[in-house]
């Protein structure tokens, strides 16, 4: 397995099994996964187990195919939960709402992401017959689910991620559209509006449309479709949410309409699923199938077909060996046997073939490639069905009417590949590159210019490579303003922000045409983009047949600190630490002391103020001379020094909050992770009472960097785990350094 040092670090941190200090190698991980998934073969032909284990290992070892992260992490281990995507039902009753919340906790504990439709819940202030009270509405329960995810994710290897969907004709739709206006709210959910064709027709005609009560199924009000559409656009322009999903279009592609209606998707939107259904995903690294011939670089279609058929068999086997978190999910999943085979490395493939991403030739290659994968994938599923049988819900499905006896109700999905593409060393999914070169922070503040390997190879072939040139390109990530680069290279080596939004959507639509499920992709906009630009993309996505769309305007997230190019002195506040000295402590201060329970014992935190505000913190825990007392005193002294040196209390809280120790504990319904976390929570309550400020759960680490690029980045923050660079694509945020992902 030829991987980069960074990929190896990601594997060691998140994927490789550890036992009593011994850690498996990447090859051992792949052997573990291959053997476990191949064990399903004994259900039909025991003689195939060893053969398929080797074939599964080979396509993973050569980085031609990788399954979704839960399979790499858990196959052959105690947890054995291998699916990434789940959708759960929420009916209009407390029993259903909190029963589903319990199920969600179990799924997220096992590493899965969850999607929900809140559309069946009665609107805010609707009557509740059993109690005589009024309902709190879908958004209140969305916030409840968000808080539960925050608690569950503390102990997992993958963060809990959710998708919340509300139909556009729900009476609470205006509240839902605006529920993430504050970037500090509902941080564990992506949200999307479920758009109907009736609504889009009303938008086009500038007419009103009806709001329908899910409790009575009666019309309760009407709104201007144009005004609602404008509000969706406005919010997406401000911070990228909500996204939109086209529910009618999704259900026209529902292979089993006789079983139920699709109301929701997984967290990144690429996997529409029935209630209580899961799906396992995998991606083919299409760059691996570029071969040099006498005619130039071409795709090795024969080898690609071989890998497609092995990958389909792999994913079907996963359904057999999977340990499902709920029996209801196992039943529905095995009845439909949905799999999602997609691609990664597409931008790399285009560059190697010399085809611009933003070109008709690029769009045609996308259609040719995905059509081939879908056709060969279906052929593989049909072959499996001959031995293993069709999926149980096949009778009555659309495939029965087409006389297409498939083993799997769906076969293709374009999924986010943030972490597995980092392992494979290729571009993510079908996204264009976010940068051709960028500067990575390494140990001791050293800088390392990292260059896309395909770009580096070609630039060397053309005799243009130099370290100085790479450093120059790393300032923006793009060739756009680099002198001396031939125009043909500038045309081929484009990045996310070199490409106009219409080409982003055209590429998404090209892949969607030959994808059973949906396509995860982000349409990147420059900061200067207008609301009209966002609106045009939403309309184009509808016209071109996409099942949904996610947009991101650079700089639209509050607190964004990474930008393109170099800032002027007036734009960057440079802190000269050598000149900072703490103000003197006054003789008399005033404050308060709070008692809080920690895993180390009872902690007393004293907060004092002088005329300029909070100036010091004292802590007491255990006996003097003990380790806990020493560390808490040291923490308090450093806090006090920072406060009297002008550091904002909010920044101190954000640095301390979330630090874990081996002995977390609960107090009054709140999880106290450590003594520093306890101090942060006391300081936050104090600040909240004084100023009415409630801080975000996330750690906000501000950097003032020069020479950074913005193509595809989530510029709102650096990685909360390693301070590395976050990129924003495929509807998610992924760290280039440690593999952290906000979407699990």
DSSP states of 51-95 as a string?
HHHHHHHHHHHTTSEEE-HHHHHHTTSSS-----EEEE---SSHH
pLDDT confidence of residue 692: 55
pLDDT in the model for residue 527: 86
Report the distance separating Cα 708 and Cα 726, nearest Å. Answer: 12
Report the alpha-carbon distance of residue 616 to residue 333 in Å, rounded.
57
Residue 598 has pLDDT above 90, yes or no: no
665 confidence band (pLDDT: 50, 70, 90): confident
Residue 245 has a pLDDT of 97
Neighbours of 622 (CB within 10 A): 15
Let me know if residue 637 belongs to a domain: yes
Angle at 86 between CA 409 and CA 159, to 5 degrees: 145
Q: Is residue 671 part of a domain?
A: yes
Mean pLDDT of 493-520: 96
Q: What is the dihedral of CA 36, 38, 40, 46, to 10 degrees?
A: -120
- Using an 8 Å Cβ cutoff, are 121 and 135 in contact? yes
Single out the residue of 420, 452, 455, 432 nearest to residue 507, CA to CA: 432
Tell me the C-alpha distance between 410 and 381, whole Å: 10
Q: Could you give the CA distance from residue 647 to residue 582 in angstroms, rounded to a whole number?
A: 10
- Domain count across the chain: 1
Least confident of 144-153, 311-320, 588-597, 666-675: 666-675
- More confident: 637 or 567: 637
The DSSP secondary structure of 297-311, one letter per residue, reads EEE-HHHHHHHHHHH
In a domain, 643, yes or no: yes
What's the pLDDT score for residue 633? 84
Q: Output the average pLDDT for the chain.
A: 88
Under a CB-based contact definition with an 8 Å cutoff, are residues 421 and 712 in contact?
A: no
In the numeric block, the tokens 């069905």 are attached to 385
Q: Report helix, strand or coil for 223.
A: strand
Q: Is the pLDDT of residue 423 over 50?
A: yes
Residue 51 neighbours by CB under 8 Å, 6+ apart = none
Contact 395, 418 (CB under 8 A): no
273 backbone dihedrals φ, ψ, rounded to 5°: -140, 155
| Spatial distance between the Cα atoms of 498 and 450, rounded to a whole number of angstroms | 20
Instruction: Kindly list the distances between the CA atom of residue 375 and the CA atoms of 93, 312, 378, 652, 738, in Å, as whole numbers in the listed order.
Output: 43, 12, 5, 56, 36
**Percent over 70 (pLDDT), the chain:** 88
Lowest mean pLDDT among 445-449, 455-459, 658-662: 445-449
Q: Which of 565, 589, 596, 548 is nearest to 706 (CA)?
A: 565
| The predicted structure's pLDDT at residue 704 | 29
Q: What is the pLDDT of residue 448?
A: 79
Yes or no: say if 457 and 425 are a contact pair by the CB < 8 Å rule.
Answer: no
Specify whether the CB–CB gap between 389 and 407 falls below 8 A: yes
Buried b (16+ CB within 10 A) or exposed e, 507-522: bbbbbbbbbbbbbbbb
Q: What pLDDT score was predicted for residue 285?
A: 98
C-alpha 675/C-alpha 688 separation (Å) is 20
Report d(CA 249, CA 196) in Å as an integer.
8
Q: Both tokens of residue 18?
A: 């550890």
The percent of residues in the chain predicted with pLDDT above 90, rounded, is 64
111 and 73 in contact (C-beta within 8 Å)?
yes
Contact call for residues 455 and 494 (beta carbons, < 8 A): no
Higher-confidence residue of 110 and 191: namely 191
The answer to whether 744 and 267 are in contact (CB under 8 A) is yes
- Residue owning tokens 């009103």: 208
* 504 occurs within a structural domain: no
Identify the residue whose tokens are 């060893």.
50
Please name the residues in contact with 595: beta carbons below 8 A apart, sequence gap of 6 or more. 602, 603, 604
The answer to the question of residue 306 being in a domain is no
Phi, psi of 206 (to 5 degrees): 55, 50
Contact 391, 409 (CB under 8 A): yes
Q: Is residue 431 part of a domain?
A: no
Closest by CA position to 429, among listed 363, 347, 500, 491: 347
Which residue numbers are catalytic?
Answer: 266, 268, 270
pLDDT of residue 8: 92
Helix, coil or strand: residue 1: coil
- Whether residue 678 contacts residue 605, with contact meaning beta carbons closer than 8 Å, is answered with yes
On whether the CB atoms of residues 592 and 606 are closer than 8 A, the answer is yes
- Min mean pLDDT across 327-331, 624-628, 721-725 is at 721-725
| Count of Cβ atoms closer than 10 Å to residue 295 Cβ | 6
CB 3 within 8 A of CB 423: yes
Q: Does 282 reside within a domain?
A: no
Q: Which pTM was predicted?
A: 0.80
For residues 414 and 346, give the distance between their C-alpha atoms in angstroms, rounded to a whole number: 11
Lowest mean pLDDT, pick from 305-319, 338-352, 395-409, 601-615: 601-615
Report how far Cα 432 is from the mean position of its chain's Cα atoms: 17
Is the pLDDT at 269 greater than 90? The verdict is: yes
Res 497 pLDDT > 70: yes
Residue 236 has pLDDT above 90, yes or no: yes
Residues 251-256: contacts with CB under 8 Å, at least 24 apart = 253/516, 253/547, 254/398, 255/336, 255/397, 255/398, 255/399, 255/409, 255/410, 255/516, 256/336, 256/393, 256/396, 256/397, 256/398, 256/409
Token reading at 412 = 């293709």
More confident residue, 320 or 668: 320
Return the beta strands (E) in 213-289 as ranges: 219-224, 243-246, 264-265, 272-273, 277-285
Residue 160 pLDDT level (bands cut at 50, 70, 90): low
Cβ distance 413 to 271 under 8 Å? yes
At residue 243, does pLDDT exceed 50? yes
Where do runs of H (alpha helix) occur along 216-359? 225-239, 247-252, 301-321, 327-336, 346-353
- C-alpha–C-alpha distance, residues 33 and 503, integer Å: 38
Section 72-91 average pLDDT: 95
- Residue 567's pLDDT band (cuts 50, 70, 90): very low
Residue 335's nearest CA partner among 403, 414, 278 is: 278
Look at residue 219 in the predicted model and tell me its pLDDT: 97
pLDDT for residue 461: 94
- Any idea which of 151-160, 206-215, 635-644, 652-661 has the lowest mean pLDDT? 151-160
pLDDT of residue 695: 43
Confidence bin at 625 (pLDDT 50/70/90): low
Instruction: Answer whether 303's CB lies under 8 Å from 63's CB.
Output: no
Range of the domain at 650: 590-691
Q: What pLDDT score was predicted for residue 328? A: 97
More confident residue, 597 or 719: 597
Please write the tens of the pLDDT for every residue from 11-32. 998 899 998 889 999 999 999 9
Q: How big is the chain by its Cα radius of gyration, in Å?
A: 27
pLDDT of 511 above 60: yes
Beta carbons within 8 Å of 94's beta carbon, 6+ residues apart: none
Helix H segments across 240-300? 247-252
CA terminus-to-terminus distance, the chain: 24
Judge whether residue 693 has pLDDT over 80: no
Q: What is the pLDDT of residue 701?
A: 30
pLDDT: which is higher, 573 or 676: 676
521-530, 582-591, 680-689, 698-707: segment of lowest average pLDDT: 698-707
Per-residue burial over 548-560, b = 16 or more CB atoms within 10 Å of its CB, e = otherwise: bbbbbbbbbbeeb
Q: For residue 242, is the peptide bond before it cis, meaning its omega torsion is within 30 degrees of 0? A: yes
What tokens does 494 get? 């484009």
> Would you say 292 and 447 are in contact if contact means Cβ atoms under 8 Å apart?
no
More confident residue, 260 or 614: 260
Is 538 among the domain residues? no
Exposed e or buried b per residue across 399-417, where buried means at least 16 C-beta atoms within 10 angstroms of its C-beta: bbeeeeebbbbbbbbbbbb
pLDDT above 70 (res 722)? no
């Amino acid at each position: 397995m030829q991987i980069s040092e960074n990929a190896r670090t990601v594997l060691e941190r998140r994927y490789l099994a550890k036992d009593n200090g011994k850690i498996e190698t990447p090859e051992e991980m792949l052997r573990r996964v291959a053997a476990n998934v191949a064990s399903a073969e004994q259900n039909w032909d025991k003689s195939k187990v060893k053969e398929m284990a080797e074939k599964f290992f080979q396509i993973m070892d050569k980085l031609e195919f990788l399954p979704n992260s839960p399979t790499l992490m858990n196959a052959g281990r105690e947890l054995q939960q291998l699916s990434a995507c789940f959708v759960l039902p929420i009916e209009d009753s407390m029993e259903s709402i909190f029963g589903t919340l319990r199920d969600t906790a179990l799924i997220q504990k096992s590493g899965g992401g969850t999607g929900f439709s809140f559309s069946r819940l009665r609107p805010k202030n609707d009557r509740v017959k059993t109690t005589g009270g009024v309902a709190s509405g879908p958004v209140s329960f969305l916030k409840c689910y968000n808080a539960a995810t925050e608690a569950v994710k503390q102990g997992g290897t993958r963060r809990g991620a959710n998708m919340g969907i509300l139909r556009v004709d729900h009476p609470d739709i205006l509240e839902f559209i605006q529920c993430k206006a504050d970037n500090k709210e509902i941080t564990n959910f992506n949200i999307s509006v479920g758009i109907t064709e009736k609504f889009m027709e009303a938008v086009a005609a500038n007419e009103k449309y009806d709001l329908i009560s899910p409790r009575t199924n009666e019309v309760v009000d009407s709104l201007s479709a144009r005004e609602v559409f404008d509000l969706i656009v406005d919010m997406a322009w401000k911070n990228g949410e909500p996204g939109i999903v086209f529910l009618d279009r999704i259900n026209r592609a529902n292979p089993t309409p006789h079983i139920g209606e699709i109301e929701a998707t997984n967290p990144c939107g690429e996997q529409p699923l029935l209630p209580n259904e899961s799906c396992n995903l995998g991606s083919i690294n299409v760059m691996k199938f570029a071969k040099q011939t006498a005619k130039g670089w071409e795709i090795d279609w024969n080898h690609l077909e071989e890998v497609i058929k092995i990958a389909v068999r792999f994913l079907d086997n996963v359904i057999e060996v999977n340990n499902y978190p709920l029996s209801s999910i196992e039943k529905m999943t095995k009845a439909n046997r949905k799999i999602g085979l997609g691609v990664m490395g597409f931008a790399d493939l285009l560059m190697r073939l010399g085809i611009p991403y933003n070109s008709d030739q690029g769009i045609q290659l996308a259609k040719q490639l995905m059509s081939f994968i879908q056709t060969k994938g279906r052929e593989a599923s049909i072959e499996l069905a001959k031995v293993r049988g069709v999926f149980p819900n096949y009778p009555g499905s659309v495939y029965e009417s087409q006389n297409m006896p498939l083993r799997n109700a769906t076969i293709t999905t374009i999924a986010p590949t943030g972490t597995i593409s980092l392992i494979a060393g290729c571009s993510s999914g079908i996204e264009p590159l976010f940068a051709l070169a960028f500067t990575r922070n390494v140990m001791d503040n050293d800088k390392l210019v990292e260059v896309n390997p395909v770009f580096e190879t070609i630039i060397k072939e053309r005799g243009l490579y130099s370290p100085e040139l790479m450093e120059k390109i790393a300032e923006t990530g793009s060739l756009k303003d680099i002198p001396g680069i031939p125009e043909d290279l500038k045309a081929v080596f484009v990045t996310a922000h070199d490409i106009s939004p219409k080409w982003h959507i055209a590429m998404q639509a090209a892949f969607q045409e030959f994808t059973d499920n949906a396509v995860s992709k982000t349409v990147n906009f420059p900061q200067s983009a207008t609301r009209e630009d966002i609106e045009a993309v939403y309309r184009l996505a509808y016209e071109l047949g996409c099942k949904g769309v996610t947009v991101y305007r650079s700089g639209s997230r509050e607190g964004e600190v990474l930008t393109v190019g170099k800032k002027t002195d007036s734009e960057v506040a440079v802190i000269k630490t050598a000149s900072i000295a703490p103000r003197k402590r006054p003789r008399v201060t005033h404050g308060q002391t709070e008692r809080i329970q920690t895993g180390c014992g009872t902690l007393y935190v004293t907060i004092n103020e002088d005329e300029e505000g909070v100036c010091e913190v004292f802590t007491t825990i255990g006996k003097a001379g003990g380790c806990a007392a020493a560390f808490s005193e040291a923490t308090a002294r450093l806090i006090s020094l920072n406060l009297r040196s002008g550091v904002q209390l909010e920044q101190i809280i954000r640095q301390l909050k979330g630090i874990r120790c081996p002995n977390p504990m609960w107090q009054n319904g709140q999880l106290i992770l450590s003594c520093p976390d306890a101090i942060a929570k006391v300081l936050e309550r104090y600040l909240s009472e004084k100023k009415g400020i409630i801080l975000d759960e996330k750690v906000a680490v501000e950097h003032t960097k020069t020479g950074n690029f913005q193509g595809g980045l989530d510029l709102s923050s650096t990685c909360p785990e390693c301070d590395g660079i976050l990129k924003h694509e495929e509807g998610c945020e992924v760290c280039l350094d440690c593999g952290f992902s906000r979407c699990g």
